[in-house]
Amino acid sequence: MTKQYNITLLPGDGIGPEIMSVTVEVLKTIGKLFEIDFNFTEALIGGAAIDATSQPLPPETLSICRNSDAVLLAAIGGYKWDNLPRAQRPETGLLQLRAGLELFANLRPATILPQLIDASTLKPEVVEGVDIMVVRELTGGIYFGQPKGIFTTETGQSRGVNTMAYTDGEIDRIAKVGFETAQKRQGKLCSVDKANVLDVSQLWRDRITKIASDYPDVELSHLYVDNAAMQLVRAPKQFDTIVTGNMFGDILSDAAAMLTGSIGMLPSASLGSSSPGVFEPVHGSAPDIAGSDIANPLAMILSAAMMLRYGLNEPAAAEKIEKTVSNVLSDGYRTGDIMSSGMKQLGCRAMGEKFREFLN
């Protein structure tokens, strides 16, 4: 029986519309292959929304997103809107979307594709075979804890304060995402904290250890964040899935992503507990190349694969996309950002067409 999903498309700004239209065509082909009927609804976000409505996230967009099964977002932002007050900037629309959908879990894979191994700044033997997923808590921890601000002390000094705080409920829900993600991968979860120094991290470690008893098929380990950072560049192959708090995850997911060396290849997912997830490339709107049909659409296409796996529970369709990325690269097709000598260079649209040829 044909399955039906309502997908909200947020093309946004810059290269966003270019990579989105390629990805929609890929999804239509996937739909035919896997008997999936995608019902796409396009909505405004970022600079495009500011131009049309004066708001970076119009209420209508949030409502369309809430009523869908998943949200595909390309990218927002550009020079044109850089000098607006913060509340009216494109980036504010993104933060409002995350808050509005209560997306507390951010999943960022760092997978080394053998065809692109030379793009990494690390030695090939260190990064070959790396396949890591960082699960970062997104709505709590030191970025949101109270009190925060810059205060004046009794002696007249300025004192900057942020508070790193987690409740057991916040830790438990991200722990579950971490364990369930590991279950869909190699079954290994490494929890990263600073429990040797921070009380909040001790609670983190206690809760993660407790939740582990619900997931006997997942092998759990713990690392202090300083050691995790070191291990990530020393021997990244030891990691499968990492779960960690907001600030540690912010730093480690960027470090892990850069093991791969190519920003045009990196997807991400942000998940809530009852709302649809948002799936988007890690890169921005690349205004420097917008409109010239040279953007790499593969991070966006891989974001659609994450949508299929983590948002719609369609792992076979997701795998088909991931394998096709590998096949297209193995046959030597490249966009400009990942081009190397002897390879065949394609523009954004042509890469999409080639991709669909390989799918069929």
Q: How far is the CB of 83 from ligand NAD (least distance, A)?
A: 12
Single residue of 56, 178, 236, 264 touching ligand NAD by CB under 6 A: 264
Under rule CB under 6 A, which residues in 174-193 are in contact with ligand NAD? Answer: none
Which of 55-63, 98-106, 131-139, 287-295 is the region at the interface with ligand NAD (rule: CB under 6 A)? Answer: 287-295
107 binding ligand NAD? (CB under 6 A): no
Active-site residue among 194, 215, 224, 240? 194
Minimum CB distance to ligand NAD smaller for 91 or for 180: 91
Single residue of 178, 277, 284, 352 touching ligand NAD by CB under 6 A: 284
User: Distance between CA atoms of 359 and 184, rounded to whole angstroms?
Assistant: 23
Q: Token digits for 171?
A: 């830790």
Nearest of 191, 205, 203, 199 to residue 249 by alpha carbon: 191
Single residue of 108, 283, 309, 334 touching ligand NAD by CB under 6 A: 283
Chain Cα centroid distance, residue 343: 28
352 binding ligand NAD? (CB under 6 A): no
Give the three-class secondary structure for 54. Answer: coil
Annotation marks residue 69 as catalytic: no
Annotation marks residue 79 as catalytic: no
User: Distance between CA atoms of 180 and 108, rounded to whole angstroms?
Assistant: 15
Minimum CB distance to ligand NAD smaller for 25 or for 180: 25
Minimum CB distance to ligand NAD smaller for 165 or for 289: 289
> In residues, how long is the chain?
360
* Residue 311 DSSP symbol: I
Single residue of 289, 343, 350, 359 touching ligand NAD by CB under 6 A: 289
Annotation marks residue 331 as catalytic: no
337 binding ligand NAD? (CB under 6 A): yes
User: Distance between CA atoms of 51 and 54, rounded to whole angstroms?
Assistant: 6
142 binding ligand NAD? (CB under 6 A): no
Q: How far is the CB of 84 from ligand NAD (least distance, A)?
A: 11
Q: How far is the CB of 135 from ligand NAD (least distance, A)?
A: 18
303 binding ligand NAD? (CB under 6 A): no
263 binding ligand NAD? (CB under 6 A): yes
User: Distance between CA atoms of 249 and 256, rounded to whole angstroms?
Assistant: 10
Single residue of 139, 246, 285, 324 touching ligand NAD by CB under 6 A: 285
Pairs from 24-32 (Cβ < 8 Å, separation ≥ 24): 25/352, 25/356, 26/301, 26/304, 26/321, 26/352, 26/355, 26/356, 26/359, 27/304, 29/356, 29/359, 29/360, 30/304, 30/308, 30/317, 30/320, 30/321, 30/359
* DSSP bridge pairs for 10: 73
Active-site residue among 51, 82, 254, 288? 254
- Total residues at interface with ligand NAD (CB under 6 A): 21
Half-sphere exposure of 165 (CA within 13 A, CB side): 9
293 binding ligand NAD? (CB under 6 A): no
Annotation marks residue 199 as catalytic: no
Minimum CB distance to ligand NAD smaller for 187 or for 287: 287
- Angle value at C-alpha 28, between 263 and 330, nearest 5 degrees: 45
Annotation marks residue 226 as catalytic: yes
Under rule CB under 6 A, which residues in 40-99 are in contact with ligand NAD? Answer: 75-78, 91, 94
| Helix locations, the chain, DSSP H | 16-34, 46-53, 59-66, 90-100, 124-127, 168-184, 199-212, 225-234, 246-257, 298-306, 315-330, 348-359
Active-site residue among 206, 214, 226, 288? 226
**Positions that interact with ligand NAD (CB under 6 A):** 15, 75-78, 91, 94, 263-264, 280, 283-289, 295-296, 299, 337
Instruction: Tell me which residues are annotated as active site.
Output: 143, 194, 226, 250, 254
